[in-house]
Amino acid sequence: MAFTEVTHSSNAATSGASNGKTPSYTLSQFTVQEELGSGSFGVVQKVINQETGEACAMKVLEKAQVLQLSMQAQLKREVLTQLRVKHRNLVRLHYYFEDASRIYCLLEFADRGHLFSYLKEHGSLPEPRAASFFRDTACGLDYLHGLSIAHRDLKPENILLFGEALLAKLGDFGWCVEVTESEPTRKTFCGTLDYVAPEMLLGEPHDKRIDLWALGVLLFEMLMARAPFTGESKKETVKNICEANFELPAGFMARGPEELVNGLLVKRQEVRLPLEQVLRHPWLRAREDLSSWSSDAERRAPELVVSNAPRPKVRSRRGYGAG
């Protein structure tokens, strides 16, 4: 994959498949329907395959921006990693194309959007729905970790939802990294503050267990409608994270998820609950079949809160709901 010199025409597909087979995709097959979002490097569009009618997401990256920020190696790692992984709880990259000025990544289209928008709309989630999202995400992470890959940017914005059952898939591999025997730890600072682990803020080496911390933050946020460490200022938030200082108000979380949160949000990496134990936890094993959990059932489900104490306010990061 050459990000600095590209000789392919704008309609020529660049092969990235490891099995040597060339997919029958060309850029001319796709028509843009709408823009889904934008970022530092380009935009994400909803596109339609004119031959099949299938909807896909097309990430369009401007090479000039990538080169200006010296992000070639990171982008190449992202694309090749996402081509490599195949799991029901990871967003699939079907293919990529290049021309002289842009890189086009053809991805699964999340017809139900991302989890961040879902949380903005629904606030704190009923326990069965939170368990479903949490288990899906943990399964995707478990697969990645089995390949010695750390995601390093787990957050609701990077968890996409699919179909009536709201299957959750972890996406955006921009900060992923392979952790090997020759390089077992990394020191790059990355991610979003609410989800960053103490070792990263303290400038210490980190490994795959950084994702375990983020998984604990995710579960807390889904059930409490706020991040666990948010303070009155950024400085206070950083202090809370570095000290693993958070509170679980009595009666606001059932015993099962409370055990998982307390087992994952541990300052010392080596003491965090391993993914194998997370996925074997009775709270998740009891909810493995959630196919009948519909949106209508979700709206009718009782609130998890059993306390008379005032509910915590929803966090405000990036426009998260006002409470």
Q: Which pLDDT score is estimated for 317?
A: 52
- Of residues 129 and 11, more confidently modeled: 129
Q: Which pLDDT score is estimated for 39?
A: 73
Name the percent of the chain lying above pLDDT 90: 63
Split at pLDDT 50, 70, 90, the class of 24 is low
Split at pLDDT 50, 70, 90, the class of 309 is very low
170-193 pLDDT, tens digit per residue, is 999 989 999 887 788 888 888 899
CA distance 63 to 3: 7
Name the residue with tokens 């990171």. 74
The catalytic residue among 99, 111, 136, 153 is 153
- For 115-319, CATH gives 1.10.510.10
Task: Provide the β-strand partners of residue 140.
Answer: none
CA distance 82 to 79: 5
Enter the tokens of residue 125: 């989630």
Range list for CATH 3.30.200.20 in the chain: 13-108
Name the residue with tokens 């697969």. 143
74-83 pLDDT, tens digit per residue, is 888 889 889 8
131-146 pLDDT, tens digit per residue, is 999 999 999 999 999 9
pTM, whole model, 2 decimals?
0.83
Mean pLDDT (the chain) is 83
Domain at 13-108, CATH from 3.30.200.20, 1.10.10.1150, 3.40.50.2300, 3.40.50.720:
3.30.200.20
Q: Which pLDDT score is estimated for 21?
A: 57
Examine the residue annotation and report whether 211 is marked as an active-site residue of this protein. Answer: no
DSSP 225-251: SS-TT--SSHHHHHHHHHTT-----TT
Range list for CATH 1.10.510.10 in the chain: 115-319
189-246 pLDDT, tens digit per residue, is 888 999 999 999 999 999 999 999 999 999 999 999 999 999 999 999 999 999 999 9
